[in-house]
């Protein structure tokens, strides 16, 4: 007989209610100062060293790099990052907010907004980029900042309840369309963003359908973030090409599962 220890999280009923109402939520002090120091060290190593599994979205100087210096699947090249990306506290927090019976890892990514020629991350939804069949898959991200963030160095902003607008077109992050033009019936109720400055070690969670944006970095230091994307157990693969699912041996129409997509949190 197994004796499962309940995973402790900072999630309160107020967080759950806010997330379900608005499609995002701020959670302060997700990690301790000691964890923050360790995670900074690990993510620095993961971003600076080339392994064979993690993937850089663009090279220094590229258009995408000016928006984000992004490395996906850092957990697959760095065992220390693996510990954080699979952290039960983060995954259980995500599960509680979403109200899912189980949460799987989709992928992690280091998201650094570099100083210098920095561009904003335009308003977008995440769901249109993912190779899943469901229009509303309940997928979500934790965005955990390793630096204090505000409007000067790339904090996030969200449009409350925009997740209820459903899945719209994907935005080209380097040559953005205006996502608000895609909203049927006009823009009025969809353009009231909430800007979310955070202290290092704090985080936001957002639904894959929630409109979000990040300011450009006008400081002289990188803005360092670990983001992890979770999917409720049972979300199915569309068969579309995607850096995370290509070569993972998945069958179109089948639930995304297997060793690259571990179940990180479950009910009970
Ligand atoms: O970090 C950013 O600038 C944007 C992050 C984002 O779009 C996301 O985590 O979905």
| Tens digits of residue pLDDT in 110-137 | 999 999 999 999 999 999 999 999 989 9
> Scanning the structure block, which residue is given the tokens 């400081």?
219
Q: CATH assignment of 23-235?
A: 2.60.120.620
Best of 212, 217, 230 to mutate for ligand 1, by most ligand atoms within 8 A of CB?
Answer: 212
Whether the CB-CB separation of 138 and 205 falls below 8 Å is answered with no
Using the predicted structure, report yes or no on whether residue 15 has a pLDDT greater than 50. yes
Cα 121 to middle of ligand 1, angstroms: 7
Q: Which residues, judged by CB distance below 6 Å to any ligand atom, belong to the binding site of ligand 1?
A: 68, 111, 113, 121, 126, 141, 143, 154, 212, 214, 225, 227
For 157-199, what is each residue's pLDDT tens digit?
999 999 999 999 999 999 999 998 888 876 545 668 999 999 9
What's this model's pTM, rounded to 2 decimal places?
Answer: 0.96
Distance between Cα 2 and ligand 1 center (Å)? 38
Atom number, ligand 1, closest to the C-alpha of residue 121: 3
Among all chains, which residue has been given the structure tokens 């335009």? 122
DSSP string, 133-161: S-SS---EEEEEESS-B-TTBT-EEE-TT
Rounded to whole angstroms, the Cα distance separating 212 from 202 reads 17
């Amino acid at each position: 007989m197994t004796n499962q220890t309940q995973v402790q999280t900072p999630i309160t009923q107020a967080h759950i209610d806010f997330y379900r109402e608005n499609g995002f939520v701020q959670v302060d002090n997700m990690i301790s100062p000691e964890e923050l120091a360790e995670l900074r060290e690990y993510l620095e190593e993961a971003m600076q060293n080339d392994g064979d599994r993690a993937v850089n979205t663009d090279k220094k100087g590229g258009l995408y790099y000016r928006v984000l210096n992004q490395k996906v699947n850092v957990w697959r090249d760095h065992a220390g990052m693996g510990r954080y990306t699979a952290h039960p506290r983060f995954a259980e927090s995500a599960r509680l907010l979403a109200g899912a019976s189980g949460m799987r890892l989709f992928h992690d990514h280091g998201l650094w907004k570099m100083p210098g020629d920095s561009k904003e991350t335009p308003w977008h939804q995440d769901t249109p980029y993912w190779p899943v069949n469901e229009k509303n898959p309940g997928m979500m991200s934790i965005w955990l900042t390793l630096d204090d963030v505000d409007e000067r160095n790339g904090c996030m902003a969200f449009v409350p309840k925009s997740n209820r607008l459903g899945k719209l077109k994907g935005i080209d992050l380097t040559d953005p369309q205006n996502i608000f033009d895609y909203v049927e019936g006009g823009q009025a109720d969809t353009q009231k963003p909430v800007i979310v400055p955070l202290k290092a070690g704090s985080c936001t969670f957002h639904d894959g359908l929630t409109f979000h944006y990040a300011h450009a970095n006008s400081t002289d230091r990188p803005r360092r973030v670990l983001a992890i994307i979770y999917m409720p157990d049972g979300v199915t693969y569309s068969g579309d090409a995607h850096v995370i699912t290509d070569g993972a041996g998945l069958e179109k129409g089948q639930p995304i599962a297997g060793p690259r997509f571990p179940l990180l949190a479950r009910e009970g």
